[in-house]
Structure 1
Amino acid sequence: MHTRIKFCGLTRAEDVRLAVELGADYIGLVFAPRSPRRLLLGQARMLRDLVPEEIGVVALVMDNPRTEIEQIVESLQPDLLQFHGGEDDAFAGSFQRPFWKAIAMGGQGESAFASLAAYPNASGFLFDGHAAGEQGGSGQRFDWRQMPEVTDRPCLLAGGLSPDNVGLALRTAHPWGVDVSSGIETAPGEKDPEKMRRFVEAVRIADTRG
């Protein structure tokens, strides 16, 4: 068993280098307008150049204008786009890139799952703990027992994960992957090296125990 790990909201070269060293599967770069982790294109290109081909680069957007997303795709050449806003399936799928759709689980319960069918072209889903319309990376958890069973596409668990609880999260929800941001930070966009290491270690221990 190999749970994929996505470190999201990276803003510093040293954090990207450590994520690569630790064997992260994906690195998330944030372009959501209201996020404290938002990058300028020049910053993002510098970070992107530090990522080897075997690690996926994910560009996170939230109701960004089409022209802005087109600039991100052209300049950054991300492997995936991740949509956190009200973007519909046709819009999200129109950038010649695979995409993941974030599903806001906070306060939604079972009703959040109704939106899955509205994204037939999504390559995967990310279930986050924030409420609809709010930013990701907030550290809010949802009831991991509500993680849906989607068998045809990858699903990532996000929201309130940390080195101390990710093992329990994996045993409870059995996701394809986990996405962490605030749980490995000292401040928004500034990752804690020890927390990054402990997070990866906790995931790998959980993997060996099945």
Structure 2
Amino acid sequence: MKVKICGIRDIETALGAIESGADAIGFVFAESKRKIDPEAAAEIIKCLPKGILKVGVFVNETKENIEEIVKVSGINVIQLHGDEASEFCKGFSVPVIKALSVGSPEDLLRLHDYSCEYCLLDSPKGKYRGGNGVSFDWSILDGNILKDKKIILAGGLNPENVAEGIKAANPYMVDVSSGVETNGQKDPKKIQRFIHEAKSVEREEVK
């Protein structure tokens, strides 16, 4: 099971997450308490291993600004977390994750509208897009709709429930931000536990 730790703002947390087994690191360039500027992200990214996915999170941003931030920061994946139409998600210089808010089974049908490399399933919108620490009803997930898509499960995941989420969604990757924080700051022990729990599910399935 692949794991993305999102909302990274310093090099120590990024390297600690990777050491614990993270496969992807997320940087928020949209309005958020975890927002980082492209230059600061670039300083972190240049210290990260090549094989790690460096994901930039955007909300209703212009294509021009996104591509400029890709250039400046060195991210190698774009996550579109706003109201972007399927046509907008095409033609970027790096792979795209399209995030969709899931509040009902009908919301899952929107997956067919997008031909992005990855689709991220998140909780309905709160104050900010994502990072709200609330999970959606995993029982509405339909394996027939999700098949043939690289699904990233997000929204309210934490070390206690990530294994349950993986069993319900069978995703390609899980994504966490607030679920590995203490008092609004990334907690290395929670990150370590989250990654361990997520990767243990895969080990159990392989037996």
**How does the TM-score come out when normalised to structure 1?**
0.90
Q: Quick one: which of 125, 133, 139 aligns to 1:139?
A: 133
Separation in 1 of the partners of 2:137 and 2:7?
Answer: 23
Partner of 1:179: 175
1:39-68 C-alpha deviation (Å, 9 max, x unpaired): 111111111112111111111100123332
Q: Quick one: which of 45, 48, 51 aligns to 1:51?
A: 48
Evaluate the alpha carbon distance shift between residue 95 and residue 200 of structure 1 in structure 2; reply closer, same or farther with a 3 A threshold.
same
What is the Cα deviation at residue 198 of structure 1? 0.7
Q: Quick one: which of 166, 172, 194 aligns to 1:170?
A: 166
Partner of 1:22: 20
Contact 1:141-1:159 at 8 Å conserved across structures: yes
Q: Quick one: which of 93, 96, 99 aligns to 1:99?
A: 96
Evaluate the alpha carbon distance shift between residue 73 and residue 82 of structure 1 in structure 2; reply closer, same or farther with a 3 A threshold.
same
1:96-143 C-alpha deviation (Å, 9 max, x unpaired): 2110110101xx3012123212212x0011101133895101111111
Q: Quick one: which of 67, 71, 87 aligns to 1:74?
A: 71
- The one-letter code sitting in structure 1 at the alignment partner of 2:56 is A
1:157-186 C-alpha deviation (Å, 9 max, x unpaired): 111111111111122222111000000012
Where do 5+ consecutive residues of structure 2 fail to align? Answer: none
Contact 2:2-2:199 at 8 Å conserved across structures: no
Identity of aligned residues (%): 33
Q: Quick one: which of 48, 57, 60 aligns to 2:57?
A: 60
What does 1:148-167 align with in structure 2 at a 5 Å threshold? 148-149=142-143, 150-167=146-163
Where do 5+ consecutive residues of structure 1 fail to align? Answer: none
Partner of 1:126: 120
Evaluate the alpha carbon distance shift between residue 132 and residue 163 of structure 1 in structure 2; reply closer, same or farther with a 3 A threshold.
closer
1:10-38 C-alpha deviation (Å, 9 max, x unpaired): 11111001012112111111111x21111
- The one-letter code sitting in structure 2 at the alignment partner of 1:199 is F
Moved more, 124-133 or 54-63: 124-133
Evaluate the alpha carbon distance shift between residue 133 and residue 125 of structure 1 in structure 2; reply closer, same or farther with a 3 A threshold.
farther
Contact 2:59-2:80 at 8 Å conserved across structures: yes
Provide the alpha-carbon RMSD of the alignment: 1.6
Determine helix, strand or coil for the equivalent of 1:92: coil
Q: Is the aligned partner of 1:194 residue 2:192?
A: no
Determine helix, strand or coil for the equivalent of 2:88: helix
- The one-letter code sitting in structure 1 at the alignment partner of 2:138 is W
Partner of 2:104: 109
- The one-letter code sitting in structure 1 at the alignment partner of 2:109 is A
Contact 2:136-2:155 at 8 Å conserved across structures: yes
- The one-letter code sitting in structure 2 at the alignment partner of 1:178 is V
